[in-house]
Amino acid sequence: MINILVLCTGNSCRSQIAHGYLDHFTDSKKVKIYSAGVETHGVNPKAITIMQEDGIDISHHTSNNIDEYFNIPFDYVITVCDNAKERCPFFPSKAVKLHYNFPDPAKATGTDDEITNEFILVRKMIQQYCKNFVDDNNLN
């Protein structure tokens, strides 16, 4: 089994979206996806909504702290924000660390439509990143 951890600051938006797409794109018999934050902020309701619009249900996800996963031998650790990369703890494993700093849609301001559009933009970025990651590493 290949274990993948997606890590961000609060495990509320970006890592949850990536978790959903990685679950969607990978073979669950070969790959187990985890997501966590260096803090926990709860799963953002807008993240749940915009993922449902793309046919992926993350409503059952929980916001988890990285400390919960120290005993798991990760093969990949993907940080999805600079803050998490800087605060990412050392994993005593062969984990390959990857990083991409996605914008934080939870910090978007403006009208409700403008905020939703920012969530959709970030969702599309994360979707493409996850698809490329899965294809490049033959995890589908």
The residues annotated with a catalytic role in the active site are 8, 81, 88
* Degrees, nearest 5: CA angle 125-128-131: 150
Q: In what order do the strands lie in the sheet with 96-99?
A: 31-37, 2-8, 76-79, 96-99
> If you ran DSSP here, which 8-state letter would residue 92 be given?
S
CA proximity to 14, closest of 131, 90, 132, 121: 121
What's the one-letter identity of residue 9? T
